[in-house]
Amino acid sequence: MIWLTYRQHRWEALLTLAVIVILGLPNLIAGLQAPSVIAALGIPACVANPNFGTECSAAFNQFGRQFGWTSYFSILFVALPALVAPFLGAPLVSREHEFRTSLLVWAQGITRTRWLVTKIVLFAAVLAGGAWLLAAIAPIAAQAWSYRPARWQDAFEWSPAVIVGTALFALALGVFAGALTRRALAAMLIALVAIAVARGAVISQLRPTAFIPPIVATSHVGIPPDAWVISSDYVDANGNPVGIDRLIQLNNEFFRTGSRAVLVSSDDYYAQNGVFVRVKYQPREREGQLQGIEFTLYAGLAVALFAASVWLVRRRPA
């Protein structure tokens, strides 16, 4: 069965490897060069000084000319699952039905369960290895994506947990769509839409607020500088949002009355008038925990979808 899987899918494996090498290698090299270039251009001093001069602009431009192209590499980490689900996962079962080869291979001397489980395990292993490799390259390559060090909430997207987790989840989604529809094209479309929706939900909703409820602060003071600020708005004493008109009014008063001289910030002036800032954030200490939860979610869903695919293949006629 291992031989058959290799013989049937060696081009897919080679193509996956080629994508990783072709995209990964130049970015890895660029990432390795970037720190010395950044230092030579004197960029750290420019970043530290907000009122930088023309020589800093020239340095930024120079960096952009040299490494600007690498920033597209980061898109790969979002696009990768969108390729895996329709192109590696969806055809796995559906193409056998379409070409009727299910009637050939399931009438040999092995069970359908063994047939599918072997394929899934091999696909998942190769894919996880490739994803992990990309994740290992990413932090190095990221040094060329921007002259500022990446924030942890941005680097989250190319952490091993997320890359490997999404790759496995995408594979499972594709396999399941194929086992369900038995039509390669339909399965590819369903898998593509499903992975886009799932990723969107995780990135925009689950990761920032659902996995662990964010910390709510009533002042900007005391929020760690490396915190991931999710939202920041103004509320009254009862926690209801304050309208923009009231904020503008307060802001004008603040400047007109010269309160600036007395108070530390406009936030303090607002607070005196019953309007409080409300900041939701995730502190950096939660990085590992958030990644753990996200990986568990993806991996758990992947296992469930794989199991459902095996059940479908066993239950339904060839």
Partner 1 sequence: MSLALEAVNVSKRFGRVLALNDCSFAVPAGRIVGLVGPNGAGKTTLLHIAVGLAEPTSGRVHVFGISAREDILGVLSRVGFVAQERPLYRGFTVADMLELGRRLNARWDFAYARQRVANAGVALDRKIGSLSGGERAQVALSLALGKRPELLLLDEPLGGLDPLARRSFLQELMSTAAESGVTVILTSHEIAAIERTCDYLVILGRGRAELAGDIDTVVGSHVAVTAPSRYEEFIRTHSAIVDTERTERQISALVRVSQAVDWPTGNGLQVRPVNLEELVLAYLRRARLERTTK
Residues lying near partner 1 in the complex (CB under 8 A) are found at: 1, 3-4, 7-8, 99-111, 315, 317-318
Q: How far is the CB of 309 from partner 1 (least distance, A)?
A: 18
Q: How far is the CB of 7 from partner 1 (least distance, A)?
A: 6
Of the two residues 99 and 311, which places its CB atom closer to partner 1 in the complex? 99
Q: How far is the CB of 47 from partner 1 (least distance, A)?
A: 54
Of the two residues 92 and 134, which places its CB atom closer to partner 1 in the complex? 92
Give the long-range contacts of residues 202-208, CB within 8 A, separation 24 or more.
202/294, 202/297, 203/157, 206/294, 206/297, 207/156, 207/290, 207/294, 208/282
Of the two residues 1 and 247, which places its CB atom closer to partner 1 in the complex? 1
Q: How far is the CB of 14 from partner 1 (least distance, A)?
A: 14
Q: How far is the CB of 109 from partner 1 (least distance, A)?
A: 4
Q: How far is the CB of 144 from partner 1 (least distance, A)?
A: 40
- Contacts (Cβ under 8 Å, ≥6 apart) of 67: 30, 34, 37, 144, 145
Residue 129 contacts residue 215 (beta carbons within 8 Å)? no
The Cα–Cα gap between 252 and 306 comes to 60
Of the two residues 13 and 78, which places its CB atom closer to partner 1 in the complex? 13
Of the two residues 4 and 193, which places its CB atom closer to partner 1 in the complex? 4
> Residue 284 is encoded by which pair of tokens?
């950096």
Of 308, 163, 154, 283, the closest CA to residue 227 belongs to 283
- Rounded to the nearest angstrom, the gap between the alpha carbon of residue 199 and the centroid of all alpha carbons in its chain is 8
Positive or negative: CA dihedral 248, 251, 255, 257: positive
Of the two residues 16 and 282, which places its CB atom closer to partner 1 in the complex? 16
Of 134, 124, 129, the closest CA to residue 92 belongs to 124
